[in-house]
Amino acid sequence: MTSVVDAAIAECLSSPDSKYETIEQIKDAASALHQTHACSLCILRFLQIPFGPVYQDQDTQLYEQLGLSEQSAEPCPVCLGILSHDVARQIAEKYTSQDFDAQQVTLGIEVPKSIYVRHRSMQIFCSANTMTQVHNVVDVKDTLKYLVAQQLANHNVAVVAECDTQIDIAFAHAETARDCQFLVDQTNMANSRVAIVAKLTACSDAEFTAHFASPPPLVTTRALVTVSTKRASIFVGGRYLKLERNISQTPFIVEGRRVTEHSVSEIIGNPIQQLTKCDSYNMVGSGREDADVRMLGDGRPFYIECINPRRTRTLDEDICNIERTLSTTNSPVQARRLQVIRAQDTAIIKEGEENKTKHYCALVWFAHELSQEKLAEINDLGKHEIVLEQKTPVRVLHRRAPLTRPRKLLALAIEHIEGRFYRVRIESEAGTYIKEFVHGDLGRTVPSLAGLADSPADIFELDVECVSLDFPPATI
C-alpha cells in the first residue's frame, strides 16, 4: 500500500512546477535540510511539498521514507517550534475551552519578526546547496493554519476566510528578538513586520549573509503562544419600563460610591450577559430619564451590545423568557419587545435623537393657587407650539458646555388637583429639560411654566409616558 509520504513525493515529482526529477534528488535535499536541524514540517515546506495527509503527524514515517534519523527534541531554528502538532492541538483546545458556539472561525496569526529573517536565511542555504533558488516555500502562517484547521475539524469547527469569529494566535520569542536588528541599524527604518519584509526583499544574498548566518543558528527555546478569541457583537433591542423611582438607567457611581442601588442596564443586561456569555455589555437608550423619573407607557427604546458573546445561536426563546421573568417577578424594571436585532438597526436610536418626541406627566406645586383664568390662559397657549430658549441647566453645568439651545414644546396642558398642586402634561421634542421648564432654573429657561403662571413653581414628580420612536422596527 502506498504511504502518505510516497503519495506526497509522487505528487511533488509530477508537478509541472517541481524542481526535482527523481526521488533521489528529493532525498538529497531533505538530508541537507535535516542537517540544519529543521523540523519535519519545515523540511516539507522547503521541499515545496503541497498540503495533504503528509503534514498530519507523520514524522516517523517521513524520516523513514527519506532515510533520515529522528530529530532531537531541540526547537526548530527555522520556525522556532511554531509548526508543531502539539501547538496546533493546544490552540484548538484553548478555543474549545472558551465555550463559543461558532461553527466557523477565521484565524489571525502573528509570528515573531525573526521568522522572516530565518526564512530568508534558509532560502539562501537551499540555493547554496544546489537545491536551486527556493521561491515557492509554503508560508509558516499558512502551514499553521492548515494544522489548526485539522485540529478544529475534530471539534466540528471549520476555518474559513471570513466570518464573525476570529481566533487570534500570537507567538513571541525573546531569544531571537534581535535577529532583525541589523536591518533596523542599516536603514533606521521602523521595526515593523512590513518594513522588515520590505528590507529583506530588497537585500541581496551577500548583504544578508554579511550580517546573519545561513543556515539560521540554533535556538534553545520555543516560541511562546497566546490564544484569544474575539467575536462580533450581537445586539438585543427592546423598550424598557421603569415603574419605580430612584433607579438610574446605567450604574450611577460618584467617587467610587453607588448613588442608586439598581440600574435599568443591570436588571435587563445581567441576565442577557448570562445567556450570551459575553465578556461585557453596553446599554444605549434613546435618551435617558433622571433616576427619580419613572418611564411608563410603552417604554423607552434601547439596545444592549453584547461584547464578544460565546453564544449567539437559537437565542430567541431565551430572550423572550427574560422578558417574561421580569414580568412574573414584578421587577421594578420591565422589558417589552425584547429581541435580537441587526447591527444596522441600532442606527435608529441615533437617528431618533433629533426626530422623536416625548410625552411627560408632572406633579407641580405652585407658591400661589392659580385662578381659572390663568389655567385657561396656559391651556390656550399650550395648544400651539412654544419655543423655549434653554441655557445649560445649573445641575449639569459641571459636565456640559454652557450653551443656549432652542427647544420646542408641542403641547402643554394643566389641571388643578387640590390646594396648590397641579397635574401638567407636556409633549416636547427630544433634548428638552422638563424640570427646568417648570421652575425656570433661575431664569435660564425662557419662557418657563413658573413665568407663565406668574408664580414660583417646583416639580414634585415626573413621569415619561411616551417616547415616540418606532423601535425595535416591526420588520425584525
Task: Please indicate whether residue 290 is annotated as part of the active site.
Answer: yes
How many whole angstroms from its chain centre is CA 228?
A: 12
In angstroms, the CA 368 to CA 366 distance is: 5
Task: Give the angle subtended at the CA of 159 by the CAs of 155 and 162, to the nearest 5°.
Answer: 140
The residue type found at 366 is F
The residue type found at 50 is P
List phi, psi (to 5°) of 420.
-105, 25
Q: How many CB atoms lie within 10 A of CB 33?
A: 27
Q: With beta carbons less than 8 A apart as the criterion, state whether 249 and 289 touch.
A: yes
Q: With beta carbons less than 8 A apart as the criterion, state whether 275 and 311 touch.
A: yes
Exactly one of 139, 290, 298, 318 is catalytic; which is it? 290
In angstroms, the CA 10 to CA 298 distance is: 72
Q: With beta carbons less than 8 A apart as the criterion, state whether 309 and 233 touch.
A: yes
Q: With beta carbons less than 8 A apart as the criterion, state whether 396 and 339 touch.
A: no
Q: With beta carbons less than 8 A apart as the criterion, state whether 239 and 249 touch.
A: no
Catalytic residues: 290
